[in-house]
Structure 1
Amino acid sequence: MPIDLQVGLKASVTVPGSSANLGPGFDTLGLALGIYDTVEVEVTESGLEVVIFGEGADELPRDSSHLVVKAIREGLRAANAHAPGLKVTCTNAIPQSRGLGSSAAAAVAGVVAANTLAGQPLDTEAVVQLSSAFEGHPDNAAASVLGGAVVSWTDVPVDGVTQPAYRAVGVDVHPSIRATALVPDFHASTHAVRQVLPSHVTHTDARFNVSRTAVMTVAIQHHPELLWEGTRDRLHQPYRADVLPVTAEWVNHMRNRGYAAYLSGAGPTVMVLSTEPVPDKILSSAREAELRVLDLDIAGAVTATLSRA
């Protein structure tokens, strides 16, 4: 029998943004960032009300097509719980469609809110699975669920029927590492940016990325002096440069000055990992180029609380 949630029950979720790929780890490496969306979900007598503040407030839907609402309902289904109605309040700080994990954060927030309302019958592995399924890869969602850095992978079934299994393990981040995001004032469609990627790559390029992904997992944990080498990539960033010229220019600009810069997710954000603050002179130049500068800590895991309205 389904669990009938009581009217007035409220879950409040705080979920971090994230950066995916970290250069060479395409659809594999992720990093939780200290920029947060908050979602409050209240069980009501009937209907659906969606309220949005902050980033995306003028663009996001306020009906059942909203990603947070979809994730809540998927989470409730998995938890075998039923809500007669919902009021969903989203307060967004993560820039939308900029490569900072806004959609993954929405999916995680919805699943975690549902799980919290239902008494947390879903374990962490299930939360990663459900939230990752919305994007088809687990790097961003797993980072927002687990915090810190993650190594993630997808087990693709051979029967063509069973759903893929999305998995991840957490990786400790060296305490000296900080992130600086340079955020252009335009959106990037993950689907569109993926279309420019080739269907085949050379063995040389594949070997290059395997080695740099291995370097990156060591760099982020124990050897931050290797971050520049660990963020080198040949599988996706060179192909995306033509459709994201501003991003490519600034990635090269920063890397030529010795900074471990890379395309964050599908972009257009440029992410810089460093152990010292990026000099004000460089950041001023970025602002003059109409890039938003975000100085970010490495975030912990998603958090949630349960209360009554």
Structure 2
Amino acid sequence: MTTKNNHPNSVTVRVPATAANLGPGFDSIGIAVEMWNEVTVEHGPFEVVNAGAGAETIPTDDSNLVVVGARAVYTARGARFPDLKFHSVNEIPIARGLGSSSAAIVSGIVAGFALQGDGCDPSEALELAAAIEGHPDNVAPAILGGCQIGVKSSDRWITSEIPLPEDLHAVVLIPDYVGETSKARGILDDQVSREDAVFNIGRSALLANALATGRLELLRHATEDRLHQPARSGIYKGLNTIIKAALTGGAHGAFLSGAGPCVMAFATGQEYTVAYEMTEAARLHGIEASTRVLRPTSRGAYVVGSEQLR
């Protein structure tokens, strides 16, 4: 259905979950995985309805990040923001380090473009989303799919995709408690030593190379980090034990997903053994958790019934 000016009356957008950092790539590398939020936006009296994961904790006013994302598009175009109804069905758990906020922002942005009858330019979507989120590591793969490197050059963001092995799986441990991104960022040092900077620079390069060339045995070293995980292990009990358990179970590498508390491991076999070992390690620390075995997805956000944005 369309309105008289050929703008659609409603759109439905799907956006994947994302994991950021991947160990050493702090605020600059992220990957999209097969877990999806679906958002329908239509013209009508303002309303926000949430269903699915964490629905009871998500705002239903104009601070809702789907609304924020949609509004950003109209503001960028100098257009009046109309009354809209927002209905979200969320599979991505809230505040666990799987990009729930980025998914909400991106879904609003994509819907905002679509409701104006425009195609969504990924570069413009990235600029808007990163301006809201503050960094590109989740929003870039949420928009583009795949594993993305995002860096800022002058006043714009540049992305580059890291090719992934076809048989790569992501094993995700999802604790039953939420993380606080502001707290997880607030405990980080403002300055780091040259030694730690070099440690992470080298491993970020090794990570990209290992994934692109399929030399997955390097991931054990390439997912190590000194910039954020050591500090965050103080607020996420058992983090280091869970990472070690994943490696013992057969994972190639493991790391804190985003700001946590989820832990993600890369595997190309023995995925359910890895999941079991991670769950047992969490249990020994008194942490109840579930696990998911997911595939990376090369598809980023899209309007249902349409093609990929890029």
TM-score, reference length from structure 2: 0.89
Q: How does 1:1-309 map to 2 (within 5 A)?
A: 9-44=9-44, 47-82=45-80, 84-120=82-118, 122-155=120-153, 164-223=155-214, 224-257=216-249, 259=251, 260-280=253-273, 281-282=276-277, 285=280, 289-299=287-297, 300-305=299-304
Q: Matched residues in 2 for 1:120 and 1:8: separation?
A: 10
Shift of 1:191: 1.2
**Amino acid paired to 2:74:** L
Structure 1 residues 170 and 185: CA distance shift in structure 2, 3 A:
same
Shift of 1:120: 2.3
5+ residue gaps, structure 2, are none
Q: Matched residues in 1 for 2:37 and 2:133: separation?
A: 18
Is the 1:5–1:81 Cα contact (8 Å) retained in structure 2? no
Q: Matched residues in 1 for 2:279 and 2:258: separation?
A: 24
**Amino acid paired to 1:198:** D
Equivalent residue, structure 2, for 1:161: none
Structure 1 residues 197 and 284: CA distance shift in structure 2, 3 A:
closer
Deviation per CA, 1:172-194: give whole Å up to 9, x if none. 21111110100111111111111
Is the 1:5–1:43 Cα contact (8 Å) retained in structure 2? no
Structure 1 residues 7 and 27: CA distance shift in structure 2, 3 A:
closer
Q: Matched residues in 2 for 1:249 and 1:282: separation?
A: 10
Is the 1:128–1:138 Cα contact (8 Å) retained in structure 2? yes
Structure 1 residues 10 and 248: CA distance shift in structure 2, 3 A:
same
5+ residue gaps, structure 1, are 158-163
Report SS of the residue matched to 2:288: coil
Q: Which segments of structure 1 move beyond 6 Å, counting only runs of 4 or more?
A: 3-8
Sequence identity (%):
35
Shift of 1:290: 1.7
